[in-house]
Chains A and B, each alone.
Chain A
């Protein structure tokens, strides 16, 4: 039986599409997503993964077929056909990546906007604040009255009006310090209630650190002298690692702590427990790291 080659190509094309659609959804490469924003990031990753798988299979396929089909026969010293280009074809394969990239850019822009990246409050860079105001009790250089400034990701446009739980995050070699201005709790771990908007004001005391929670798909460098902001709504109870993702010295790899996303009741309990013993908690947190 002889199948015409264009039908073969068609079948190959359909198979390719199916494979990459399937793999794009089922690659299993991402950790658990613990917020709605994280899931939108996953969607964009799945989308990119689909396209990438397609292109990957296409090009590797071309290479492999060429290797087998277009090998030089023994003793054949002639050259291949003299094809020096094909303008329409070249235009097509210039256009394809251009279109893909265009779609991707628009899509990323949408997602980024959804994550609050273009929130004017959070995305506007007001420059350095000269770190004159070193408080003695902790090293957070905060000046929230005057300038509400930060880099990073603000609230999602949908949740703008919601009041968020504010936590000041300070990175120092090699620990994270979390201060809750509302209750005065100081902790080495981050506890937040589930389904409530959280705003982190991130700063650094000595060198550059980066606050990263893989499950939230959020990362922001903590730059000394600047302040950055992250806003997110965790919607999944659990314990997630908080990792420092910017080389900060010899024990950079050990600079880790945990994010506890808890139910409202658990969280309140935790606040209760810690309001009294915060002095000792601070010591413990520093000593432990």
Chain B
């Protein structure tokens, strides 16, 4: 759905004039595209992985609060349907940021529905985060201490902390906004003495951490996928684990870098520039550690690994441009341009979505008991990677040259690059076909997967594929640290794992 809207947006931008859809409609499109992709795709996808994997990885039979979990899950479709239904009353047009006063002036009910659905989705993610945090902290099997749990759990712990601290503030901002909208107060409306900047502060206090909420779980996914397929321990476990926490902490104090050109006084801009740049340090640690994990390994270049490496290479671009936009003088130039559009798509698409696919190819066998087809997987990767870079790489240049974002009509001089972007986005659209075919076909006809097709060491691979009800038939056994590959490779490590597997299944 969100992707479909994006295709319309891109098609519209193939020509400089608004000819496919009307500008009002265009604004509704990109508002909904942003909201759907962020709140109904990436955040729930991260939560879905977490829900599935955390109990398995720490050897618990379920989350700490299964009923609460169900409530949180069912709030997502409710929120989603509500959000999409806003098209019938005129969807919101103010962008996913909904800056007042614009959001107060265009399409009252569409905006209100947007607020309501975001409140529902926000509550859902708060409840989910609460559940994750407590499950990770309290339900590990006794032998597993914090420093021997898989890195995915670390990153979810950091994510949950961010959700718990950030999301309520967004809720507060949205409550005030809807008062402005419905009851006619003027918190953010300058005509009545309010101040739109206050909304921006409250909004970004959540929405910058939200980027990390979207990306951190997938850092965790990558930290799981890479070592398994490179047959090598993760490089610098503690550095990766603690850098997640560092990112989460720094993520909370950088929000005003979205407001360098609006109402932020000079010295504050400097402060936020410094904190924002600091984030590059833990992120850099992660990227270097991942590279070092691959280096010298014995890489099994399957679809999961391909997406994993695709993730590193595209997230790298997002990270580098991220440091650039942190520099205030430069950000003043590129703020709200296509450079920014390119930057966050590299972070969220190149980051989250690539890792999401890596995780899908990695854990599909565990979830369904069948393997995904490799050939289709590779086609999927090739199309996604090409389409993605073709769509978003030229956007850097567009932004630098002076194309601003959220416009339906632009200067004709930018047309050729825009056409490249549009073609790229079509390739991206096509790239979903192999995935769908692959998933459907493999569900029915895929090769049966054993308990542990990747010979991985984390706990989820000890149970049957798909896992039994209450996850483990018998108490899982912590047989090794999560990443202890190649401990005794001379003595045919492979057989060790097989032995252990056999023993574990014999026990059950």
Q: CB atoms of A and B under 8 A apart anywhere in the complex?
A: yes
Chain B residues whose C-beta falls within 8 Å of the C-beta of A225 in the assembled complex: 190, 194-196
Is residue A221 within 8 Å, beta carbon to beta carbon, of the partner chain? yes
On whether the beta carbons of A97 and B280 are closer than 8 Å, the reply is yes
Which of these binds chain B: A59-67, A160-168, A262-270?
A59-67
Cα separation A248 to B485 with both chains bound (whole Å): 55
A133 within 8 A of B: no
Q: Which stretch of B98-106, B160-168, B433-441 is in the interface?
A: B98-106
B407 near A252 with CB under 8 A, answer yes
Q: In the complex the two chains form, is B329's CB within 8 Å of A112's CB?
A: yes
Q: Given A105, A124, A206, A245, which contacts B101 in the complex, CB threshold below 8 Å? A: A206
Q: Report A36-79 residues with CB < 8 Å from chain B CB.
A: 40-41, 44-45, 48-49, 52, 55-56, 59-60, 62-63, 66-67, 70-73, 76-79
* Residue numbers in A under 8 Å from B402 (CB-CB): 31, 212, 214-215, 241, 243
Given A66-B295, A254-B409, A208:B99 Cβ within 8 A: yes
Q: Is the CB of A55 within 8 A of B320?
A: yes
Closest residue of A by beta carbon distance from B487: A82
Smallest CB separation, A273 vs chain B (Å):
28
B262 touches A66 (CB 8 A): no
Q: Any chain A CB within 8 A of the CB of B284?
A: yes
State in angstroms the CA–CA spacing of A67 and B191 once bound together: 60
Q: How far is the CA of A254 from the CA of B410 in the complex (A)?
A: 8
Given known pairs A44-B329, A208-B262, A223-B197, the reply for A80 and B337 (CB within 8 Å) is no
Please tell me which stretch of B139-147, B177-185, B231-239 contacts chain A, meaning at least 4 of its Cβ atoms lie within 8 angstroms of it.
Answer: B231-239
Q: How far is the CA of A208 from the CA of B103 in the complex (A)?
A: 10
**CB < 8 Å: which of B274, B396, B485 contacts A80?**
B485
Question: Would you call A80 and B106 a contact (CB within 8 A)?
Answer: no
Instruction: Please state if A90 and B236 are interface contacts (CB–CB under 8 Å).
Output: yes
**Cβ-based interface call for B176 (8 A):** no
Whether A52 pairs with B323 at a CB distance below 8 angstroms is: yes
- B404 adjacent to A244 (CB under 8 Å): yes
B493 / chain A contacts, CB cutoff of 8 Å:
78-79
Known: A104-B323, A245-B404. A151 touches B265 (CB 8 A): yes
Q: Flag if A223 contacts B193 (CB, 8 Å).
A: no
B464 within 8 A of A: no
Q: Does A84 have its Cβ within 8 Å of any Cβ on chain B?
A: yes
Contact assessment for B231 and A131 in the assembled complex, using a CB-CB cutoff below 8 Å: no
Binds B, one of A3-11, A115-123, A189-197, A274-282: A115-123
Quick one: CB contact mask for B243-262 with A, threshold 8 Å, 1 for yes? 00000000000000000011
Q: Which of B108-116, B296-304, B377-385 contacts A (4 or more CB under 8 A)?
A: B296-304
Q: Do B261 and A70 touch (CB < 8 A)?
A: no
Residues on B with C-beta less than 8 A from A1 are none
Q: Does A259 contact B (CB under 8 A)?
A: no
Taking the closest CB of chain B, its distance from the CB of A88, in whole angstroms, is: 12
Would you give the shortest CB distance from A8 to chain B, in whole angstroms? Answer: 16
Interface string of B218-241 (1 = CB under 8 A from A): 000000000000111111111100
User: Nearest chain A CB to B202's CB is how many angstroms away?
Assistant: 15
**Residues of chain A within 8 A of B337, CB atoms compared:** 245
Judged by a CB distance under 8 angstroms, whether A210 is at the interface is yes
Closest 7 CB pairs between A and B?
Answer: A123-B266, A225-B190, A253-B407, A214-B402, A79-B486, A80-B232, A97-B284
Interface residues in chain B, defined as those with a beta carbon under 8 Å from any beta carbon in chain A: 18, 22-24, 26-27, 93-95, 99, 101-102, 105-106, 190-191, 193-197, 230-239, 261-267, 269-270, 273-274, 277-278, 280-281, 284-285, 287-289, 291-292, 294-301, 309, 312-313, 316-317, 320-321, 323-324, 327-330, 332-333, 335-337, 396-397, 400-402, 404-411, 455, 483-487, 489, 492-494
